[in-house]
Structures are given as C-alpha cells and as structure tokens.
Amino acid sequence: MNGTAMKGVADRSPEDGAAIWCEAGWYEGSIRESIRLTVDSAGRVASAVPGSRSEPGDLLLSGVVFPAAANAHSHAFHRVLRGRTHTAGDFWSWREQMYSAAGSLTPGLYEQLATAVFTEMLVSGYTSVAEFHYVHHAPDGSAYPEHGMELALARAAVAAGIRLTLLDTCYLSGGFGAGGVGTPLDTRQQRFGDADADAWLERFASLQAAVRKRFAPEQVSVGAALHSVRAVPEAALARIAERLPAGIPLHIHLSEQPQENADCLAATGMTPTGLLHRHGLLGPRLAAVHATHLTDADIALLGAAGATAVFCPTTEADLADGLGRAAELRNAGVALALGSDQHAVVDPWLEMRALEYGERLRTGRRGSFAPADLHVAASDAGAAAQGRTAPGLEPGKACDLMAVRPHSVRTAGSRTDQLAFSATAADVAAVVVGGRLRARNGQHTTLGDPAALLQAAIAAVDSAPAPVHETRLEGTRHL
C-alpha cells in the first residue's frame, strides 16, 4: 500500500452499480488487497471482489478499510463534561455534575450539541449510535410538545449522517424503596421521568409513530431502555415485560456499581441480573451496559439468554467503575459490544484495545481478544445491539466503512492485521455510510470541522441559564 491520497467520486448517494475500490480491507476476517465493492440502492454491499482493479467513477479509498464502528452506548450531552470532571471523586460525585449538565438543555440547544457530538463520532469512524436518552421533558417535568427533545436528537443524527437508534429510556424512581416501590424523583430528575410504566409505554408508542412518520428506519429507529433497576421499580419491570412489543432492542445500565448491587439485594433479595430474569426481561434483545460487577450466576444467566454486554472501557476507567469480566462473559455465550458512553474520548480504536487491555490488567494474561474479536465487538455486535445490519465489506452488509492510514506516526511499522493495537481515530482518513462518503481527514463533507461545531455548542451550553435548583461548579457557568 502506497498511502496515496483518496481520489475518485466524492460525496454521492448510492445507486445500483455504484462502486468503491479499497486499496486493502478487512474482508472475511483478514486483510485482503485491492477489493472492489458494488453498492445497491439500499446502501448495502452487493458484491465484493478482492484482487480487482479500480474502474472509472469508483470511489477510491486508500490505506486499510475496516467495517465502521457501531457505538452501542452514548449519552450525547455528557460530552460537555470532557476535561472538567476528571480529577477527583467517584461515580456518585460525577453524577451530580452530570445532573447539572442535563438541567441546561432545551430542544434547540440539544440539537446543536448532539449535531456536534454525532459529527465528532462520524469523523472518528462511528457510523451508527445507540443513544441512551432520558432527558425527555422540561426541567420542571412538563412535556415538550411533539417529542421535542427526541426529535431534536433525530434531526441532529440526520444532519451528521450517522444512523441513530434512539433508546427512549424509562426512568421512574430515584432509587429503591420499601415494598418494591421506588423513591420519588428529586428535582434534578424530574425531566427524566414519566408518571408510571404505562405512561412511559404510551409515550414510547407515540414516539415510535412520530419517528416512523418523519425518518427512514435505516436513518433513525426507536429502541427501548430501562435506565437501571434502581430507576425502574419491580412492579414497573413486570408491566414493561408484559407490554413492550417483541423485537425492539432493550438496553439497561446493569451492575455498574457495587452499591447498586447491594441496594438491589437489600430491597429484592436478588442481584439486578436476577431481578431481570425474574420478570422475563433477559433475552437476545437485551443489552446490559457496563455489566461490571456480576456474580458467576449473573454471567450464566446472561449467557443462557444470549444477551449482549456493552462495555465502555474509557468511561469505566475514567469513573473508576472497575474491570468487567469480559472473557468470562464471552465464554458464557454473551456477545460483547462497545460504547463511548460519556465521551471522555470518542475513538473506537481506543475502546477496542481497552477491552483487551482491561482483561490483561484483570487476569495478568495477554491475548484474550484477538484483533478479529475486537472488530466484531466494535462493529457487528454493536450493530446487532441496535437491531441493525452489521457494517463491512462482505456482500449483504451495510456499506459503512472507515479507511485507516497504515503509515502514520502511530501506525508506521504495524502489521495491517494488528492495527487495532496501534491506530486511533486520528488515523481515520475516510468514513463511508451506506456507500456514501461522509468524512475525510477528520472533516465532515458537509458540516466541516467538528471541533468548531463542538466549541460553539459547548459555549452555548455554558451560557444557557441554569434551572434555579442547580448549583454552579467552579470553572464553568453551571456544569
């Protein structure tokens, strides 16, 4: 590979017969040279022929082309906390600062911020994202008209060109209470909540209809989430298990903190995983986010259910959450996906190798996850957790790709099949979504520099008036 600049057809919609030529690419689990792809009108790979010459009109991708990453867990508004919350405290003190950030958002402000965050994701190599969304209402808990916050996120995704699975999140209580009844939401949590499980289910169905009316499903789809077992009382879990339609992705923060496990055991006599099992909520559609502090029995239950565990290694490190039992989950039959969560960094390559490095730190052994395993976690499993077609170069896959420079200061000398251990988002030279070029050299093809978008959006958040119950933190207006 000569590392020549990318040439050929630029930003264009896929059509039958459209083609992409890859100097090299990750194809059927190994690196192959000179792969020519044709793309159908749905943006999927129609054919792939390694060892092919390019043809006039092809989109040419130099370097090594990989399946794009599928971000299986995101809270877009957390991006404003980067560089401001890292020096001390624990998860629970960090959460107080997160509440302050959430308190400032309006639909317009969130659309601006999410557009910038989704653009940062896209130029870094993510082409789909599961947005775990719970900032539903105004700060006083009153509803915005016509799903204002949710549709703002959808418009942001369309602007950035990233595929969005909007995980509308049920958040009913502030913690465990006596008799299986949760404690009331506090003032900072009012905008997250609904009156009860039935009210959330009704709003969820209404949101599904609103999104179907406005957006193509390959661009924006709606999935479901339970914030956590501490935020959804046991009676509500039972009601949701009874009424939530089959086939809809269902995500939950699970056993992120030991305190959550202890509180759940005290209130219900079960671990969070056991509680989900009691109510029939374990299954192939379930994505357990973090899954850090699990018992052997928890791991066996998740594996038997064919569930997914979504690790967010850079966030879990930043928040001192601990190291999950990744290889044991994998060996039990649990699929492993990856997310950027609070966006302390937005870099699928760092998340990939942090999965393996975390396992090395936990076990004292190398090689639990080979590069092929890491690419599956970053791409296939993340897409499956969203209910989406996996990205890649093989026929039938979504033509969502990222081309990586193999001769940068970070990757020079690397074996191309080990770029998962040397590349970063800074090495992503081009990103293709559905056969369409969306980013090159860190710049979005229509929105330009994501840094400028982020700077403007975060400045707007900083200057927004804080709700009266919020406490301003040192170094920012209210974050």
Active site residues: 290, 341
Q: Which residue has the tokens 């959006």?
A: 457
Judge contact between 141 and 469, C-beta under 8 A: no
Residues with Cβ within 8 Å of 373's Cβ and at least 6 positions away in sequence, in order, are: 330
CA separation for the pair 443, 431 (Å, rounded): 10
Question: DSSP letters along 263-303, please?
Answer: HHHHHHSS-HHHHHHHTT--STTEEEEE--S--HHHHHHHH
One-letter amino acid for residue 51 of the chain: G
Sign of CA dihedral 250, 255, 256, 259: positive
CA separation for the pair 80, 207 (Å, rounded): 26
Question: DSSP letters along 305-346, please?
Answer: HT-EEEE-HHHHHHTT-----HHHHHHHT-EEEE--BT-SS-
Judge contact between 101 and 479, C-beta under 8 A: yes
Q: How far, in whole angstroms, is CA 445 from its chain's centroid?
A: 22
